[in-house]
Amino acid sequence: MTLREEVNGVRARPGKVLRDDFGRLPSGEVIETVEIANARGLRLRVMTLGAAIQSLSTPDRDGHSDNVVLNYPELAPYIERQEFFGSLIGRYANRIGGAAFMLDGTRYELVANEGANILHGGAEGFHQVVWRIDAAEGGDAPWVRLSHRSADGVQGFPGTLDVNVTYSLNGDNEFRITLEATTDRLTIVSLTSHPYFNLGGAASGRDILGHSLMLAADAFTPIDKTMIPTGEVRDVAGTPFDFRKPQIMGERIRETGSSQIALVDGFDHNFVLHGGVTSEPRFAARLADPRSGRVLELFTTEPGLQLYTGQKLGTGKAKTTALYHRCAGMPIEPQYFPDSPNQPSFPSPRLEPGQVYRQVSVYRFSTAAH
């Protein structure tokens, strides 16, 4: 089965909004999609399950447009496989060790879903809830906004959290994600978006090992065997984690002698971005595919960037068949550091009543000549 580039044979025209049904949950609830496009060929489709980026298409150097994020053509795999394809992640992106944390003297026990740890907000995280479409507009800078209210105590997290996400496109071929959250009780928040990028095209059958990557990071946070940060912030100089200049992913993954790469059979690590938490997005990463010529530059307000090379794709047990193979896509996820609630030296994800959590991440697409 091929990936859908259209909704019932119809595409959203530039400046227009296309809204349609994508499928039904076992409960019977309808999952919708909203598609928007700009005049330069950048086309986005999001769905209400997980506020997920269901497809993101952009032209290559020859003007041929392809979807560049891994997705499924039907709803069932999104429910059964739990690969977080394009999903909005919360309440806490990445891992919290021991599925527990202390906050102002109170210990909060969370619901573990990865061994003793909690990953991506737990089994009932934001990726598995149905978001509400609040508004969508076309025009020269089309956008769509979705929202969700997370009740106090869901998966053990304190406070009722109101979250909204706005996805927008502009004439500079930028895809912008703006996230905001408020709480009625002291809590922790770290959100991210989880698209798996393959700039050669999600349906190309090629992996991302030929992509080049550059990161604005002088350090990373090493992990233990349970994939929880040790608390160390390690300089990337002289290690395979040095992406301060563009590096070919396949060459870095195959580096021998790195216990950190061997631990997860690739990369699944947090990088410490320059500048910490910022009020406006600054440069974080540049991903490029020499074959298609597509280039993606990422700008973000977040202090960390999780790099995962997709080495677990194609594995695991589920009713549905895996559509993708090892390293078929690569998330680069702006967020707070993993396990920050238990690491006093890491940036604090604390959110108090009256404050607004705000994250802005901008994905700028362009092409490069041969």
> What are the structural domain ranges in the chain?
17-367
> Does 194 qualify as catalytic in the annotation?
yes
Tokens of 271: 């990088």
Average pLDDT of the residues of the chain = 94
pTM recorded for the entire structure: 0.94
Q: 80: part of which helix (H) or strand (E)? A: helix 76-80
pLDDT at 317: 58
Active-site hit among 120, 127, 194, 211: 194
Q: Contact, 121 vs 90, CB < 8 A?
A: yes
pLDDT at 88: 98
> Does 333 qualify as catalytic in the annotation?
yes
Reported CATH class of domain 17-367: mainly beta
Q: What is the mean pLDDT of each run of 10 residues along the chain (370 residues)?
A: 38 81 96 96 97 98 97 93 94 98 97 97 97 95 98 98 98 97 98 98 96 98 97 97 97 89 96 96 98 98 98 74 88 98 97 98 95
Q: Which residues contact 34 (CB under 8 A, 6 or more apart)?
A: 17, 18, 19, 45, 46, 47, 133, 136, 144
- Concatenating the DSSP letter of every residue in 11-51 gives -PPTT-EEEEEEEE-TT-PEEEEEEEE-TTS-EEEEETBTT
Give ∠ CA 125-129-135 in degrees, rounded to 5.
125
pLDDT at 370: 78
SS3 assignment, position 78: helix
Residue reference for tokens 């598609």: 35
